[in-house]
Amino acid sequence: MKIAETYSHLNGIEFLIVHKPTLWEEIQEVIAAVDAAKRKTKVSKEKTMKGKLLYSPIAMNTAFKRLLRRKSWEESRVNYWVTRSEKLIRKTLTLPAEEQEKEIEAAGEKPIFSYNQTDFVKDRVALEVQFGRYAFVAYDLFVKHLAF
């Protein structure tokens, strides 16, 4: 693959180039190493493209995961519990997830499980790999930006 276009959210690429050049080089190496043509295996069911071969998001994600893991990029996942009471959430926010759930139940509220997941993190740099489901890009930027 090659980088055809970039969108530098909050000057992210510039930050990488100046402050984390090794990580930027790793990202470029991984992108260059992915053979997208081998992953054109999904048969379209869409009315306007029925039967056409498309890039498989699952196969693409698998390739990126394999290559990035080799370079020690890891998934980040933080589990937590919330409830309808803002005051109670603020009280439990800093507790471990298990204690959050117990505190919420002890207060007579219903705990609701949630989590924040980022595809790849290394040296406080987050990398999200997205193929399809474009409506979630803005959501991912908003939610995951808050996690850092």
Into how many domains does the chain fold?
2
**Dihedral, 97, 102, 103, 108 alpha carbons, nearest 10:** 130
Q: What is the DSSP string of 44-85?
A: P-STTTTT-EE--HHHHHHHHHHHHHHTT-EEEEEEEEE-S-
- Is-contact 94 81, C-beta < 8 A? no
CA distances for 15 relative to 9, 20, 75, angstroms: 10, 7, 21
Are residues 67 and 78 located together in one domain of the fold? Answer: no
Q: How far apart are CA 17 and CA 19, in angstroms?
A: 6
Pair (47, 7) in one structural domain: yes
In whole angstroms, give the CA distance from residue 131 to residue 57: 5
pTM, rounded to two decimals = 0.78
Query: Up-side HSE of residue 6: CA atoms within 13 Å toward CB?
Result: 13
Can you give the pLDDT at residue 131? 78
The domain that contains 59 carries what CATH number? 3.40.91.20
* pLDDT tens, per residue, the chain with 148 residues: 999 888 888 899 999 999 999 999 999 999 999 999 999 999 989 899 999 999 898 999 999 999 999 999 999 888 999 999 999 999 998 999 999 999 999 999 999 999 888 889 999 998 888 877 667 777 777 766 665 5
Q: Domain range holding 127? A: 74-148
